[in-house]
């Protein structure tokens, strides 16, 4: 039967494919494309495999392999007796830095740090090239980082209230790299990690690839549902918990001291491994107590410099609890061999000279100015986030879904990211979009984008 030869065939999905042969990749690519363009939506039911095979005139085994590829990528999920569905959190698996068509838009989607402060990085590079034995920074060195660089990591941690011995500092290549090291070193296929019901998608993508299950914890208002978490720990074999206590990505929520203490107590009681993501903690004023300081034997603290200093510096400082030092160092060696000494040296120089503090202060001042524009244009709507926030969380009128608003906003010339991109599992959340206010090149572009969104909301 020729492909697409009968348009009236009663199927829930009719992929348009120019050729298939017995290559399941064509079918998998078509499904991913139709999710991206909105033809397929989260929770849509897919045709039975045999019907799809008949429709495309391919072997049933080809469809089975295509579905297996899509399942591995987190695009679909199957339930015995119910069929196969587009995954409810499928949009969180799409590339967050995808630039397709974005050149025609004001970008409030992918969260980029402010770039004006890169001039300090350039100056530091010039200084290193002139004054430093640059050749030594282009050679292999200690896997976990050079002693001088670890000492800079100690200084970096101290600003967050963490006094860390040198042997507990591990230097990695950014947040994604740190998460990959932690998950491969301390977790195994089938392990369960709890996290917020909407979360930074990077952790989800890595967990999916390793067969680690993320279990969502719902919010009560703006707080983690503590009772729900306790029941999960009692009834499920939970091994870890992933938290972003400061300027949570994407909701901008931060945890108060009482919530941090409650979580630390539960983590200790149920012997969980805590992963504390402090990517945006540099924005908090005043500083809040890290959960890691309350449970130092069970918590790994990740602090990156890509947002606080420069996106071009793929450097993170990871605080290793003593029970996991050897496993994390071995995992780092397996994945990295080492982090680039030149990038780490630039970061170290910025920290030691105090330039890093100046850069962060300048970023905060600029963010405050941009956030005042957000408050001005969207004052009639609920927009979470403080003046220091790098992004904001805009609640939508109930007539919208996040995905619908994202698609129509892009047609109008503004890229935003709908809440569906950040979902964990089958979590249900109120419609919202994340606005990356630091991404537009200047305040004029931001203001233009906000005006378009305001008109669209009306």
pLDDT in tens, 160-198: 999 999 999 999 999 999 999 999 999 999 999 999 999
Is the confidence at residue 6, as pLDDT, over 90? no
pLDDT score for 1: 40
Residue 11, domain member (yes or no): no
* Dihedral sign of CA atoms 85, 91, 92, 97 in order: positive
Is the confidence at residue 78, as pLDDT, over 80? no
Give the least confident one: 134-138, 194-198, 266-270, 347-351. Answer: 134-138
CATH label of the domain that carries residue 365: 3.90.1150.10
Is the confidence at residue 102, as pLDDT, over 60? no
Residue 14's alpha-carbon distances to 43, 56, 72, 99, in angstroms, are 16, 9, 22, 27
CB 108 within 8 A of CB 437: yes
CATH label of the domain that carries residue 314: 3.40.640.10
Same domain membership, residue 170 and residue 251:
yes
pLDDT score for 270: 97
Same domain membership, residue 135 and residue 105:
no
Last residue of a domain, one of 319, 353, 387: 353
Same domain membership, residue 310 and residue 334:
yes
- Where helices occur in 164-248 by DSSP H, the ranges are 175-186, 201-210, 226-235
Ordered DSSP codes for 241-310: EEE--SS-TTT-----HHHHHHHHHHHHHTTPEEEEE-TTGGG-SSPPPPHHHHSTTTEEEEEESTTTT-
Q: Which residue has the higher pLDDT, 129 or 328?
A: 328
Is the confidence at residue 135, as pLDDT, over 90? no
- Report how far residue 291's alpha carbon sits from residue 22's, in angstroms, rounded to the nearest whole number: 52
Residue 15, domain member (yes or no): no
Last residue of a domain, one of 295, 328, 353: 353
Same domain membership, residue 53 and residue 70:
yes
Interval 274-296: pLDDT, tens: 999 999 999 987 789 999 999 99
Same domain membership, residue 254 and residue 144:
yes
- Report how far residue 214's alpha carbon sits from residue 133's, in angstroms, rounded to the nearest whole number: 46
* Residue 228 banded pLDDT, cuts 50, 70, 90: very high
Is the confidence at residue 98, as pLDDT, over 60? no
* Residue 70 banded pLDDT, cuts 50, 70, 90: confident
Strand partners, 241: 194, 274
Same domain membership, residue 373 and residue 295:
no
Residue 8, domain member (yes or no): no
Is the confidence at residue 7, as pLDDT, over 50? no
Lookup result for tokens 């939506």:
41
Structural domain harbouring 60: 24-87
Average pLDDT, the chain: 90
Strand partners, 392: 435
Using CB atoms within 10 Å of the CB of residue 311, give its burial: 0 to 12 exposed, 13 to 18 middle, 19+ buried.
middle
* Residue 139 banded pLDDT, cuts 50, 70, 90: confident
CB 166 within 8 A of CB 154: yes
Q: What is the mean pLDDT of residues 84-93?
A: 74
* Residue 20 banded pLDDT, cuts 50, 70, 90: low
Using CB atoms within 10 Å of the CB of residue 147, give its burial: 0 to 12 exposed, 13 to 18 middle, 19+ buried.
exposed
Residue 12, domain member (yes or no): no
Q: Which residue has the higher pLDDT, 221 or 81?
A: 221
Strands of the sheet with 383-384, listed across from one edge: 383-384, 392-395, 432-435, 417-418
Same domain membership, residue 164 and residue 60:
no
Same domain membership, residue 163 and residue 279:
yes
Same domain membership, residue 316 and residue 257:
yes
Same domain membership, residue 142 and residue 50:
no
Residue 41, domain member (yes or no): yes
Same domain membership, residue 189 and residue 244:
yes
CATH label of the domain that carries residue 63: 1.10.10.10
pLDDT score for 2: 43
pLDDT score for 197: 93
Give the least confident one: 74-88, 228-242, 440-454. Answer: 74-88
Residue 35's alpha-carbon distances to 12, 29, 310, in angstroms, are 13, 10, 33
* Residue 222 banded pLDDT, cuts 50, 70, 90: confident
Residue 5, domain member (yes or no): no
Residues in the chain, overall count: 458
pLDDT score for 95: 59
Residue 371's alpha-carbon distances to 53, 176, 359, 366, in angstroms, are 52, 27, 18, 9
Last residue of a domain, one of 306, 331, 353: 353
pLDDT score for 5: 41
Residues 6+ apart with CB under 8 A from 241: 193, 194, 195, 263, 267, 272, 273, 274, 275
Q: How many domains does the chain have?
A: 3
- Report how far residue 394's alpha carbon sits from residue 346's, in angstroms, rounded to the nearest whole number: 36
Residue 375, domain member (yes or no): yes
Same domain membership, residue 319 and residue 255:
yes
Residue 14, domain member (yes or no): no
Q: What is the pTM of this model?
A: 0.81
Residues 6+ apart with CB under 8 A from 145: 153, 169, 170, 171, 338, 339, 344
């Amino acid at each position: 039967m020729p492909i697409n030869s009968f348009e009236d065939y009663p199927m829930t999905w009719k992929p348009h494919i120019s050729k298939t042969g017995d290559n399941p990749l064509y079918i998998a690519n078509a499904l991913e494309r139709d999710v991206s363009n909105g033809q397929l939506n989260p929770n849509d039911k897919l045709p039975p495999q045999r019907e799809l095979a008949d429709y495309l005139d391919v072997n049933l085994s080809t469809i089975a392999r295509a579905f297996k590829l899509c399942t591995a990528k987190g695009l679909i999920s199957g339930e015995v007796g119910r069929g196969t569905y587009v995954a409810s959190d499928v949009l969180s698996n799409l590339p967050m830095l995808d630039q397709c068509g974005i050149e025609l838009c004001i970008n409030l989607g992918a969260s980029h740090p402010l770039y004006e402060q890169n001039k300090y990085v350039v100056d530091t590079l010039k200084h290193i090239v002139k004054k430093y034995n640059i050749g030594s920074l282009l050679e292999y060195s200690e896997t976990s980082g050079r002693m001088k660089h670890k000492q800079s990591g100690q200084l970096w941690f101290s600003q967050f209230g963490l006094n860390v011995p040198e042997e507990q500092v591990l230097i990695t290549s950014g947040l994604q790299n740190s998460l990959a090291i932690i998950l491969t070193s301390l977790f195994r296929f089938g392990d369960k990690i709890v996290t917020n019901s909407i979360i930074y998608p990077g952790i989800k993508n890595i967990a999916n690839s390793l067969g680690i299950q993320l279990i969502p914890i719902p919010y009560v208002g703006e707080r983690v549902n503590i009772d729900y978490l306790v029941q999960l720990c009692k009834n499920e074999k939970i091994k870890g918990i992933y938290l972003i206590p400061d300027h949570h990505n994407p909701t901008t929520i931060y945890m108060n001291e009482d919530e941090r203490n409650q979580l630390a107590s539960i983590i200790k009681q149920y012997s969980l491994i805590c992963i504390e993501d402090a990517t945006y903690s540099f924005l908090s004023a005043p500083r809040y107590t890290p959960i890691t300081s309350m449970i130092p034997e069970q918590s790994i603290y990740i602090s990156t410099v890509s947002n606080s200093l420069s996106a071009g510096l793929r450097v993170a400082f990871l605080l290793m609890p003593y029970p996991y030092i050897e496993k994390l160092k071995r995992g780092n060696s397996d994945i990295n061999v080492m982090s680039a000494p030149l990038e780490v040296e630039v970061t170290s120089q910025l920290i030691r000279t105090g330039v890093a503090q100046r850069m962060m202060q300048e970023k905060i001042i600029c963010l405050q100015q941009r956030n005042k524009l957000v408050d001005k244009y969207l004052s009639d709507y609920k927009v979470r986030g403080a003046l220091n926030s790098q992004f904001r969380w805009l609640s939508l009128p109930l007539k919208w879904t996040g995905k619908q608003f994202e698609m129509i906003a892009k047609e109008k010339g503004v890229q935003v990211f709908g809440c569906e991109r950040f979902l964990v599992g089958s979590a249900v959340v109120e419609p919202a979009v994340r606005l990356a206010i630091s991404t537009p090149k200047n305040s004029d572009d931001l203001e233009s984008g906000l005006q378009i969104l305001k008109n669209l909301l009306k």
